[in-house]
Chains A and B, each alone.
Chain A
Amino acid sequence: MNALPCTIYVSFTGALLALAVGTRSAGAARIVALLTALTAWGLTLGAAVNFVPAAGLQELINAAWIPEFGIRYHLAADGISLTLLVLTGLAATAGVLFSWNITERTGEFFALYLALIGGVYGVFLSADAFALFVFYEIAIVPKYFLIAKWGSTNREYGAMKLVLYSFAGSALVLAGLLWAYAAGHATGFGFPELVAATGRLDLTQQTGILALVFLGFATLAGMFPLHTWAPTGHVAAPTAASMLLAGVVMKLGAYGCLRVALPLSPEAFHLLQPWIAWLAIIGIIYAGLVALVQDDFKFVIGYSSVSHMGFVLLGLAAANPVAVSGAVFQMFSHGVIAGLLFAVVGRMVYERTHTRQLADLRALPLHRLLPFAAVVFVLAGLASMGLPGFSGFPAELTILIGTWQTNPLWALAAATGVLIAAAFTLRAIQVSFFGRTGPDICVTPLESLPPITWPEKAGALLLLGATIYLGLSPDTLLDWIRPALQSPYFHAILSGGAS
């Protein structure tokens, strides 16, 4: 457990190392990146093995940083952090495997990649809002370069849009936090101190603070109508970056909502709760509908990501222990499934066919050319539809059960999203891989594509294994998450949600 902060340091060290050796040899940079990601993931798994969920928030480091303002370098972890740390390790490792073919400035690519990962680890470990904010900013910058330099379609636009949204979001967060800190005469930026500071203000101010902070974080979580950075960003990004964006970075926003924003003020949250819930529901349905008519394969997945993140936000909005534990579970589940989908579309298909237009893919007998990719995509699609046997089912089921407790109407509206998910996923499967079929197909040499490589297979099996394992045994994660939600810090917000 105490080794968890090392995930941050290992990642940043790995980034420097990759930069150093990358000038000499691309292969060495890959190895460094893989070992770094594996080490950090191993640290999280090691912590998970010895984790005692009932112990609540466990202190890791607490040192003075800027004493004048009460800012501390304070790291701590509970079951929620641990869930997301393990996810980060998994997604990072799979991402390295799916970036094995990067040849252009390999060292720099992996350096930025690992720096992003380090920032993400930092966010999930922070117990001080200022430290969290700093790590959050650290994670944003490498994203820009990863997309703008190694991306594809419309990459400058996508990168700039993503970064501007991210910075706008973090500006809102900062404004809200400073408001609470200054107006509430907080002694520091620890989460409980900020909550106490907010509590000293009147309801109008509390509402303002909560709205700012929540909106800021929800932007990064892809909340409707502030979601538009996500699909364009995903599409423009190189495969590993889309995997991280959907898999981990969107979770930063949702994590911030849960850890920082919601507990600030239970009263203000009650005022905002229906708004948040309905925006989440609209996001689920709306993004699903948009995904239904996209012509670009990656846009389908990008919008499906927004739709699935809507379930996370709905779970948070429902604000009872069941719904919120479902939301955290869904963060993990979606991280794995979206990563898998982006890996198939971006790495396995696009980098071989050089097109993502469904109309073009329809003309290729892809299921014959890339049978492994076809099987993986079908399985990932089933997982994304929320079919039992995969992690999406217990996640969405738990969210819906919890949401029903708060407001059955929300659950009813959100459940239609499951239907839409089936529609757009089946469409994507049929058009992309099974578009041109027939017994008469003979694969001409011209049409043959490079075979799937071992890193791709390893990465796909890693992610598939995770989603199936959690689909059968959701208790693995829920046993970590539930005790964390019982801590006094969350008590006021989660007990008030059920009506």
Chain B
Amino acid sequence: MSLPVQHLWLIPALPLAAAAVGALTPRSGRTLAAGAAIATMAGAFLLACLALGGALDFPAAHQVLNFAWFDLGATSLRLGLLLDPLTAFMCVMVTFVSLLIFIFSTGYMKADANAKQFFCFLSLFAAAMLGLIIANSLLLLFVCWELVGLASYLLIGFWFHKPAAAAAAKKAFITTRIGDLGFLLGLLWLQDAQGTLLFYDGGHGILESAALANLTHLLPCGLAASTAIGLLIFCGAIGKSGQFPLHVWLPDAMEGPTPVSALIHAATMVAAGVFLIARVYPLMAADQLLANVPVHALTVVAFIGAITALMGALIAVAQNDIKRILAFSTVSQLGYMMLAIGVGSWVAAIFHLLTHAFFKALLFLGAGSVIHAAHHEQDIRRLGGLRPKMKVTFATFAIGMMALSGVPFLFSGFWSKEAILHAAHGWEVSSLPFYAAVLGVVLTAFYMTRLVAEVFYGAPRSDEASHAHENSPAMTVPLVILAACSILFSLLAWPSPWLQHQLDPSAHSESGDMSLVLPSIVLVALGLGAGWAYYGRRPRTKAESPDPLDRYAPGLMAALANRLGFDELYAATVGRLSSGFATLAAFLEVFVWDGAVRFLAGLGELSGLVSRENDEAGFNAGFDAGSKTLRDTGVAYSKAQTGDAHGYLRTLALGFVLLLILVILGGAR
């Protein structure tokens, strides 16, 4: 039994329905909202498993279902659904991890008055991510991409009564939207160049060879068209997946409730960028065969990934907030994934994305368990000694830590990281990313050892830590399940690269090559040993005691603790520039444009005034003078009007006599 592509829409539709239920129930309906969210996500998980079964029957096929959204005349904007192993594996992972996070949330959000809204937003978040995964159209992917951004805004700012949370939500939304701008432009360009945005459409899709051949021409700037489009789309991934230089929102996103952090870091949000680039890999790689171009799209991806991987790991070393350490480790791991895609192995990237989703969800939920038990204390310097009190949390957290550090053989992270190192080692363009990745491996093992040692070993260093106790099964059972997955997943990769083969049957696989295994075991051991030497052997006794590393390089540690000053840099440049422009525009508005209007109005009034004066003094004066003469004449004549009838008669008679005389004299002549 398998799920055909025609019914694939059910997978995001189920959580969407749960979101609607959550939105429409009253505030008291939290049980209903939570129940709907969990039940629909379980249903979606089952459907995703069925879809995976269907996809694995024909791993090389892209099953699609395309339909028009709206017509533009000559072309139309079409959407579509796509079922292939990449989609199916992602669906299974997202639904499974989300399901466990939802269950965990019922425990974590027990005391929150807005819990029903929380489950509504969580379902919306998962629905948008699932829609993004099953999209067979860059447009549908973009639509869901934006909805993922919206849901993350709502969830990061869920505790909007904390100013930091409200600011973090806004920062996440705006920062990722800067990247989305590039994505949008790439989308417009593709629509214009190809007339379609479908990935696969029986030979006409944008990822199929006929269309890709259209984009090999060179632009005036020397880049191939596909390089430019690919890099624009990559901007979106830089924003969403927290890559350098737009990584700044991701650590701040910790202000949301911890299950949200788990969801963002494991399953839904940051995975979207890596998934996007893996999905459009044929487009990104379309310029590989061109020799006379200044840069290939994938080369940029590889270097951005390498920078991010190293930078994230370095900053994580100097953080003290348990969630921030994990956040920067996510930044670093996402860098690894991008690096893998950049060096040509999107399969390794997706493999790492899947394994990382499980152990990062595990680590975040474990951190949530610690935070919940320690009354929202997140500073690792003020925790400590939790191992005997929280056995389940400790055991599962340790498994997650070993998976993330890449402890050999038993843990899934080792295999996926191994695949990435292997791919980076074989890259012909440059060996720098490989060395960055190697250094990152040591640092990862180091900071994770530090984290575990500070939180779970030594003595409790605050009241909160000393009163901590293990949480309810709603929270610990998901931890156990995720821990089991973090181990079991390694079976998929070892001894044969089954997963890689399913994802990309065409690729000739070299993952059986074990040449890098020994060196990487040494690297991990180095990191673990150093971490234990500094933090585990002599645990911190007081919360205030300085970090051992501060003694060696106080300046560097301070810079790292300050996250290399990116936030300050952006605040001083981009922030100030945009607010400067805004103030300038507002100034222009009031004083120039409105000023011009007022000036014209003033000019009108002035000319009115002048005209009036002119009227008064000129025309009117003449008129008045004329009138006066007339009136005077009238007055003068009116003196004749005496009203005396006899006088009139006398005058009449006199006149008559005079006339008579004149007539007589005239007649005589």
> Contact at B184–A482, with CB atoms within 8 Å?
no
Contacts of B160 in A (CB 8 A): 430, 434, 437
Q: Is B174 an interface residue (CB 8 A)?
A: yes
CA of A467 to CA of B455 in the docked complex: distance in angstroms?
51
* Selected contact of B181 from candidates A286, A393, A415, CB within 8 Å: A415
CA of A290 to CA of B147 in the docked complex: distance in angstroms?
27
CA of A65 to CA of B332 in the docked complex: distance in angstroms?
76
Q: A400-B188, A426-B170, A434-B166 are in contact. Are A478 and B586 (CB under 8 A)?
A: no
Q: A289-B582, A418-B181 are in contact. Are A439 and B72 (CB under 8 A)?
A: no
Q: Which residue of A lies closest to B166 (CB)?
A: A430
Min CB gap B577→A, angstroms: 11
Q: Is A47 an interface residue (CB 8 A)?
A: no
Q: Is A292 an interface residue (CB 8 A)?
A: yes
A-contact 0/1 string along B637-655, CB 8 Å cutoff: 0000000000000000000
> Contact at A411–B161, with CB atoms within 8 Å?
no
* Selected contact of A290 from candidates B69, B170, B178, B582, CB within 8 Å: B582
Contacts of A475 in B (CB 8 A): 69-71
Segment from A138-146, A246-254, A381-389 that makes contact with B:
A381-389
B-contact 0/1 string along A293-306, CB 8 Å cutoff: 11000000000000
> Contact at A401–B170, with CB atoms within 8 Å?
no
Contacts of B161 in A (CB 8 A): 437-439, 441
> Contact at A478–B71, with CB atoms within 8 Å?
yes
CA of A294 to CA of B579 in the docked complex: distance in angstroms?
12
Min CB gap A332→B, angstroms: 14
Q: Is A455 an interface residue (CB 8 A)?
A: no
Q: A387-B150, A422-B177, A434-B160 are in contact. Are A290 and B72 (CB under 8 A)?
A: no
CA of A329 to CA of B352 in the docked complex: distance in angstroms?
44
Residue from B73, B173, B579, B588 whose CB has the most chain A CB atoms within 10 Å: B73
Q: A325-B72, A430-B170 are in contact. Are A289 and B585 (CB under 8 A)?
A: yes
Q: A400-B188, A426-B174, A475-B71 are in contact. Are A290 and B586 (CB under 8 A)?
A: yes
Q: Find residues 143-173 in chain B having any chain A CB closer than 8 Å to their own CB.
A: 143-144, 146-147, 150, 153, 160-161, 166, 170, 173
Contacts of B72 in A (CB 8 A): 321-322, 325, 398, 401-402, 478
Q: Which residue of B lies closest to A160 (CB)?
A: B601
Q: Number of contacting residues on B, CB 8 A? A: 43
Q: Find residues 365-400 in chain A having any chain B CB closer than 8 Å to their own CB.
A: 382, 387-389, 393-394, 397-398, 400
Q: Is A457 an interface residue (CB 8 A)?
A: no
Contacts of B432 in A (CB 8 A): none
Contacts of A402 in B (CB 8 A): 72
Q: A382-B150, A439-B161 are in contact. Are A411 and B185 (CB under 8 A)?
A: yes
> Contact at A474–B70, with CB atoms within 8 Å?
yes
Min CB gap B187→A, angstroms: 9
CA of A136 to CA of B191 in the docked complex: distance in angstroms?
39
Q: Find residues 570-609 in chain B having any chain A CB closer than 8 Å to their own CB.
A: 578-579, 581-586, 588-589, 593-594, 597, 601
> Contact at B73–A325, with CB atoms within 8 Å?
yes
* Selected contact of A418 from candidates B143, B184, B593, CB within 8 Å: B184
CA of A154 to CA of B166 in the docked complex: distance in angstroms?
34
Min CB gap A150→B, angstroms: 23
Contacts of A228 in B (CB 8 A): 589, 593-594, 597
> Contact at A423–B174, with CB atoms within 8 Å?
yes
Contacts of A286 in B (CB 8 A): 585, 588
Min CB gap B172→A, angstroms: 11
B-contact 0/1 string along A277-317, CB 8 Å cutoff: 00000000010011011100000000000000000000000
CA of A397 to CA of B583 in the docked complex: distance in angstroms?
29
Q: A419-B178, A422-B174 are in contact. Are A290 and B73 (CB under 8 A)?
A: no
Q: Is B189 an interface residue (CB 8 A)?
A: yes
Q: A415-B184, A482-B73 are in contact. Are A404 and B189 (CB under 8 A)?
A: yes
Contacts of A434 in B (CB 8 A): 160, 166
Contacts of A293 in B (CB 8 A): 579, 582-583, 585-586
Q: Is A479 an interface residue (CB 8 A)?
A: yes
Q: Is B57 an interface residue (CB 8 A)?
A: no
- Chief secondary structure at chain A's binding surface: helix
CA of A232 to CA of B579 in the docked complex: distance in angstroms?
22
CA of A227 to CA of B77 in the docked complex: distance in angstroms?
33
CA of A321 to CA of B73 in the docked complex: distance in angstroms?
8
Contacts of B585 in A (CB 8 A): 286, 289-290, 293
Q: Is A46 an interface residue (CB 8 A)?
A: no
Min CB gap A212→B, angstroms: 18
CA of A389 to CA of B16 in the docked complex: distance in angstroms?
13
> Contact at B71–A388, with CB atoms within 8 Å?
no
> Contact at B181–A419, with CB atoms within 8 Å?
yes
Q: Is A200 an interface residue (CB 8 A)?
A: no
* Selected contact of B589 from candidates A290, A398, A412, CB within 8 Å: A290
CA of A328 to CA of B132 in the docked complex: distance in angstroms?
29
CA of A401 to CA of B588 in the docked complex: distance in angstroms?
31
Q: Which residue of B lies closest to A291 (CB)?
A: B582
Contacts of B624 in A (CB 8 A): none
Q: Is B463 an interface residue (CB 8 A)?
A: no
> Contact at B70–A411, with CB atoms within 8 Å?
no
CA of A236 to CA of B77 in the docked complex: distance in angstroms?
41
CA of A430 to CA of B164 in the docked complex: distance in angstroms?
12
Contacts of A388 in B (CB 8 A): 142-144, 146-147
Contacts of B584 in A (CB 8 A): 289
CA of A423 to CA of B177 in the docked complex: distance in angstroms?
10
Min CB gap B51→A, angstroms: 24
Q: Is A405 an interface residue (CB 8 A)?
A: yes
Contacts of B583 in A (CB 8 A): 293
Min CB gap B597→A, angstroms: 6
Min CB gap B534→A, angstroms: 40
Q: Is A103 an interface residue (CB 8 A)?
A: no
Contacts of B143 in A (CB 8 A): 388-389, 393
Q: Is A225 an interface residue (CB 8 A)?
A: yes
Q: Is B616 an interface residue (CB 8 A)?
A: no
Q: Is B615 an interface residue (CB 8 A)?
A: no
Contacts of A412 in B (CB 8 A): 185
Q: Is A416 an interface residue (CB 8 A)?
A: yes
Q: Find residues 189-241 in chain A having any chain B CB closer than 8 Å to their own CB.
A: 225, 227-228, 232
Q: Is B613 an interface residue (CB 8 A)?
A: no
Min CB gap B477→A, angstroms: 29
> Contact at A161–B586, with CB atoms within 8 Å?
no
Contacts of A439 in B (CB 8 A): 161
Q: Which residue of B lies closest to A437 (CB)?
A: B161
Min CB gap B291→A, angstroms: 27
> Contact at B146–A289, with CB atoms within 8 Å?
no
Q: Is A451 an interface residue (CB 8 A)?
A: no
Min CB gap A118→B, angstroms: 30
Q: Is A488 an interface residue (CB 8 A)?
A: no
> Contact at A404–B181, with CB atoms within 8 Å?
no
Q: Is A465 an interface residue (CB 8 A)?
A: no
* Selected contact of B177 from candidates A161, A164, A419, A430, CB within 8 Å: A419
CA of A232 to CA of B601 in the docked complex: distance in angstroms?
15
Q: Is B567 an interface residue (CB 8 A)?
A: no
Q: Which residue of A lies closest to B584 (CB)?
A: A289
* Selected contact of A408 from candidates B147, B189, B578, B594, CB within 8 Å: B189
Contacts of B174 in A (CB 8 A): 419, 422-423, 426
> Contact at A389–B147, with CB atoms within 8 Å?
yes
Min CB gap B641→A, angstroms: 52
Contacts of B170 in A (CB 8 A): 426-427, 430
What 6 pairs across the A-B complex have the smallest Cβ distances?
A: A388-B143, A289-B585, A437-B161, A292-B582, A438-B161, A289-B582
Further 5 A-B residue pairs, CB within 8 A, beyond A232-B594, A430-B170: A225-B593, A293-B583, A387-B150, A422-B177, A475-B69
11 A-B pairs with C-beta separation under 8 A: A228-B593, A286-B585, A293-B582, A293-B585, A321-B72, A322-B73, A404-B189, A408-B189, A430-B166, A434-B166, A482-B73
Chain B residues within CB distance 8 Å of chain A: 69-74, 77, 142-144, 146-147, 150, 153, 160-161, 166, 170, 173-174, 177-178, 181, 184-185, 188-189, 191-192, 578-579, 581-586, 588-589, 593-594, 597, 601
